[in-house]
Amino acid sequence: MNRTVRPSRRQFLRGAAGALPLPWLPSLLPRSAWGATLAPPQRLLFFYVPCGLQPEEFVPDRLGAGYDLKQITAPLVDVQADVSVLSGLVQGAGYDNRPGDHARGTGCFLTATTVKFTAGSDIENGISVDQVAAQAVGSATLLPSLQLGIDEGGTTGDCDSGYSCAYARNISWAGPSTPMPNVIDPTVAFNRLFAGTDLNLDADEVARRTLLRTSVLDHVAAQATALSGKMAYSDRLKLDEYLTGVRDLELKIEQLANQVCLPGESPPIDDDYAIRVQAMCDLMALAYSCDLTRFITFMLGNGGSNRSYGHIGVAGAHHELSHHQGDPAKLADLYAIGNWEVAQFAYLVGKLRDLTDADGSRVIDNSLLYFSSEIEDGNSHSHTGIPVLLAGGGGGAHTPGRHLDFGETAPMADLFLAMLDAVGVNPGTFGEDGTAPLAGLR
Amino acid sequence: MRVVGLIAVLTACGGSSSTDPVPAPEIADPGRVTLHRLNRAEYNNTVRDLLLTTLTPADDFPFDDFGYGFDNVAEVLSISPLHLEMYELAADQLLDELLAATTPIPAAVQHFEAESQLTATTGASNGTAWNLWSNGTASTTVSLPSGGHYVLSARLWANQAGDALAQASLLVDGAALSTVDVPETAAPGALYSAEVDLAYGGEHSVGVRFENDYYDPTAGLDRNLYVDWVELQGPTDQVLPTPPGYAAVFVCDPGTPNFVDADCAREILAGFTPRAWRRPVTEAEVDGLMGLYQLSRDSSGDWYEGVRLALKAVLISPHFLFRVELDANPTDPTPHPVDPHALASRVSYFLWSSMPDDALFARAEDGTLTDPAVLEAEVARMLADPRAEALVENLAGQWWSIRAVDAAFPDVVAYPTWSEDLRGAYRDEMQRLAHDLLLTDRSMLDLFTRDDTWVDARLAGAYGLPAPAGDSWALTPLPPGRTGFLTTGGLLTALSYPTRTSPVRRGKWILGNLLCEAPAPPPPGVDTSFFVEDDTGAPQSLRDQFEAHRADPVCASCHAVMDPIGFSLEHFDGVGAWRTDDAMGLPIDASGALPDGSSFGDIQDLATQLAADPKIPGCMVEKTFTYALGRPPTPLDLDALDAIESAFIAGDHRFSALAAAIVLSDPFRYRTGEPEPTEAP
């Protein structure tokens, strides 16, 4: 694996200017690195929108480059060269002989695994594609992965026809019963990325603080291990989760010594939905440009969300509208919502086009961004032919800007295998039906 | 005969097989609760009571996993790596606040370049400094936030001439703090400082005065003083006020007579840790924490930093974050009493969502908590304490969907009266009613039939009632048509869609939350279309639109119960306001008939019947049991639930009777171990 070369803290301070986060600065790299080929990091991002995407106003009529934009995809006009539309992919794990497509579709969104039907504590899913990547190569960065969202966890009521709320509110799963919760507050997310990075400290002080922090964590880990020895099976499982968390935190602290980015300004504190979404997109771009993480998932809303998009003039609840039954007024509202969702994605793509990596290539060229929903048409709740946007070059793995159709024969899991391949991870199979990286993307 | 609804038996991977030896308990199997992590509300309340802080760090924690209607079910609550990051951040925030008074606030610095920012009585600028070529002053006015200790500095040099060195004075308010010789002869000169204690803030002058000009033009000798800049730093002795929690934790500190650093640190930890971990601690445990204190001291930390490091470990320890209940033999399924300290935590987290107080700890310590009479007295005491309001926020907040009001999105075009003000009023009303139901010794059946409510000016407008004066809340008889908690505007808004009511959601809520008979999910492939107009093109009422629910026998099995209950509330629109006609302009018919043959004319009628329904108390018992124990009841609990229900009914359906019965029940006071799973996990 390429060992990334990082400039030292002192070098960065001498060269730093202003409060803007600076990505790789070739002039700060050690002399030995000059002239050597530095491969920029490869990233993956998964952008989830709830309640489906109407294919009739999404999927282009033409194939190949220069595809036609429809009402929902219209906001891609300025970034179209970096975004492909993929149609005809199948998420088989979304089907099961019972209602609950939102929970099931969201649960399998990145796992391609049919989730276990339960509303209790015995949830069971597969491991999601971002976590496969994070567990393989995520230790290279401060955070192996980052899960962001907008909607709260919800406090009352069930989530979809007898399925646990865990399925509807999480797309990132580290293990069969380990959903990775979203951070929904941009300020909290910002602090996770930058707290503890005080570039005014010298190396000795950093080492002292690291020693003290990790000593505390070692101490409580030892307490947990001792406690575990006195407990029964179910209790030990809880302590195992605790110990995993402590270990991950220790790894993160060790990574802190490598930070080279000045955080800049904290995001605005605002309850407004549109502002929070944009703040999250800004944070995702920042996290990539500072190489604080390479695997991000973002949920624009929870599965089956009933949000009212008042700020774009759409009254009514999203989920209720998505059961449009052919009503033209409801469809018009759905197209408007989809259009807004794609506009947020286009904004993020635009930011990554403007940022550059160490070798001068654009961050978007070294990323693959996946945009989709848990179902296709909101009324039919189909999991076949769910529209997908794939943005970025993936370091050469993908030639973007085309409409590719896969004839409702290729599994979504094969696309995930292709994305994993782009970051150097090849598990061979993925989910229930992924057998080989999807061909035709390059 | 009681049927425990749709709740699955938790057999925990493997559980007991037919070949396990049958235990011979003195009591029936009381079940067990998995290691129970503090949830967000509990964490915030616990640090509030432990550290006397007003910070609520858990607001930033990930949302708690939710199951069986509540976010405090032990088996369901998980810990992710994100949690550990947040716990560590929270501990730092809390300790920062606790120790805020132990480090002075960094002093502000005001800097004045002499050539541009000082006013002089003589001399001229040379571009980078001011040349005082005769006796005079370069000074400026400063505005200070407060009195206190200040440091005045200036960078000076001089042209020397004659027998004496140039002399300068540093001035504050025209008075010299010090007068010094300035031997330096060229830039950058040297730094001269003096300190002063000012009695008050506000406007002061600071500056430099040249004291001994010397000029002999015939010999070409000229003594001048150069001032580069003047700086005022301070106040340097400001500290933040000591937070209330400091005295609770720091039973000694460097200011205490006969202070010995390591001894005092140990004394602090020996007093704080048992409270934080809610149980006595061993010498070895304190030794371990002192090891962290020593590590900090050895790496040049001061005494406070050393103690702080140990305190941090206490706050992110599993002993703090979990409610630990140890069994002498963890795999032995024989029932045994919950140990007194663990029992105290069970009671306090049930009634207060927080740690035990000193009085409850004392009962645990002296062993009397195992006496049912003492336990019952504690329950009564704790219900009368203001901390019992946690039951309104957390038990009622979830069970009666008060929290759901914050997640409602009514459309302001369809409902122009909707506003955030109204949302707040609705939520406050529900909380006051819940407070009355749980904490004022009235029958919980009043949930159905209470005929008055609390209103303020906002709410009175929404209900069409006279407004009380000013901001106050007043008890007011309900307007016609409304009854009890079921017709509160907040509940009905939470159980609607943004542009219309939802009789199905409302019916389902009553069935699930109050009768414990949640309907099964709809079958696959169901056609959910319904038609706004009938075959002749005339508008249909919502009831007629839902006709398919009752025409199709598969749908009717559930909808024949759900829909009539929901339609009884049709007079209340999507934001809980009364109406006589529905959205189609058709008169509302709020009567209904249920499959068991009963019928009702309106919601008041239905509410009266529900209040008399024998399933209601049993369901209240089930829900409260789940919340109190942190696990749903299983068939093994049937006898205990029956006994609790009998006590509840005998206690006139008062919550205090229900709470006491639960706390005194075997599942609450006893637990079992858990056999190892028979197959590999």
Counting residues of chain B whose pLDDT is more than 90, the rounded percentage is 71
* Mean pLDDT for chain B overall: 90
In a domain, A431, yes or no: no
In a domain, A106, yes or no: yes
pLDDT of B524 reads: 64
CB contact under 8 A, A306 and B321: no
Instruction: Tell me whether 0.90 is exceeded by the ipTM.
Output: no
Residue A155 pLDDT greater than 50, yes or no: no
Residues B69-78 have a mean pLDDT of: 92
Chain A hits for B328, CB-CB cut-off 8 Å, are: none
Tokens for A418, please give them.
């292709």
Chain A hits for B288, CB-CB cut-off 8 Å, are: 219, 223
Residue A22 pLDDT greater than 80, yes or no: no
Residue A117 pLDDT greater than 80, yes or no: yes
- Among A309-313, A363-367, B29-33, B573-577, which is the least confidently predicted range? A309-313
Highest mean pLDDT among A148-162, A312-326, B95-109, B243-257: B243-257
Q: Coil, helix or strand for A411?
A: strand
Counting residues of chain B whose pLDDT is more than 70, the rounded percentage is 94
Counting residues of chain A whose pLDDT is more than 70, the rounded percentage is 86
Mutation for testing the A interface, residue in B33, B79, B92 having most A CBs under 10 Å: B79
Mutation for testing the B interface, residue in A151, A172, A235 having most B CBs under 10 Å: A235
- Write out residues 474-533 of B within 8 Å (CB-CB) of A: 494, 497-499, 520-524, 526, 528-529
CB contact under 8 A, A315 and B411: yes
Which pLDDT band, with edges at 50, 70 and 90, does B276 fall under?
A: very high
Residue B100 pLDDT greater than 80, yes or no: yes
- Write out residues 151-180 of A within 8 Å (CB-CB) of B: 152-157, 161-162, 164-166, 169, 174, 178-180
CATH code for position A193: 3.40.720
In a domain, A196, yes or no: yes
- Write out residues 61-80 of B within 8 Å (CB-CB) of A: 62-69, 71, 73, 75-76, 78-80
pLDDT single digits (tens) B385-395: 999 999 999 99
Residue A162 pLDDT greater than 60, yes or no: yes
Alpha helix positions (H), B470-602: 489-494, 503-509, 542-545, 547-551, 553-567
Q: Which amino acid is at B400?
A: W
CB contact under 8 A, B674 and A233: yes
Which pLDDT band, with edges at 50, 70 and 90, does A217 fall under?
A: very high
- Among A79-88, A192-201, A323-332, B129-138, which is the least confidently predicted range? A192-201
Q: Does A313 touch chain B (CB under 8 A)?
A: no
What residues contact residue A397 under an 8 Å CB cut-off, 6+ apart?
Answer: A368, A418, A419, A421, A422, A441, A442
pLDDT single digits (tens) B286-345: 999 999 999 999 998 899 999 999 999 999 999 999 999 999 999 999 999 999 999 999
Q: How many domains does chain A divide into?
A: 1
pLDDT of A32 reads: 36
CB contact under 8 A, A219 and B291: yes
In a domain, A167, yes or no: yes
Q: Which residue in A155, A169, A220 is closest to B316 by CB distance?
A: A220
Q: In this structure, how many other beta carbons lie within 10 angstroms of the beta carbon of residue B553?
A: 8
Domain extent, residue A158, equals 4-422
Chain B hits for A315, CB-CB cut-off 8 Å, are: 411, 413-414, 498-499
- Write out residues 41-70 of A within 8 Å (CB-CB) of B: none
| Max Cα distance, chain A (Å) | 67
Which pLDDT band, with edges at 50, 70 and 90, does B140 fall under?
A: very high
- Select the more confidently predicted residue: B22 or A115: A115
In a domain, A429, yes or no: no
- Select the more confidently predicted residue: B634 or A264: B634
Burial (0-12, 13-18, 19+ Cβ within 10 Å), A350: middle
Residue B367 pLDDT greater than 90, yes or no: yes
In a domain, A436, yes or no: no
Which pLDDT band, with edges at 50, 70 and 90, does A13 fall under?
A: very low
CB contact under 8 A, B409 and A121: no
CB contact under 8 A, B326 and A234: no
**Residue A440 phi/psi, 5° resolution?**
100, 0
In a domain, A35, yes or no: yes
pLDDT of A253 reads: 85
Q: Does A215 touch chain B (CB under 8 A)?
A: yes
Residues A264-282 have a mean pLDDT of: 85
**Residue B137 phi/psi, 5° resolution?**
-130, 140
CB contact under 8 A, B80 and A219: no
Q: Which residue in B301, B321, B521 is closest to A100 by CB distance?
A: B521
Is residue B398 a contact partner of residue B69, using CB atoms and an 8 Å limit?
A: yes
Residue B158 pLDDT greater than 60, yes or no: yes
Residues B539-552 have a mean pLDDT of: 75
Is residue B164 a contact partner of residue B233, using CB atoms and an 8 Å limit?
A: no
Q: pTM score, two decimals?
A: 0.80
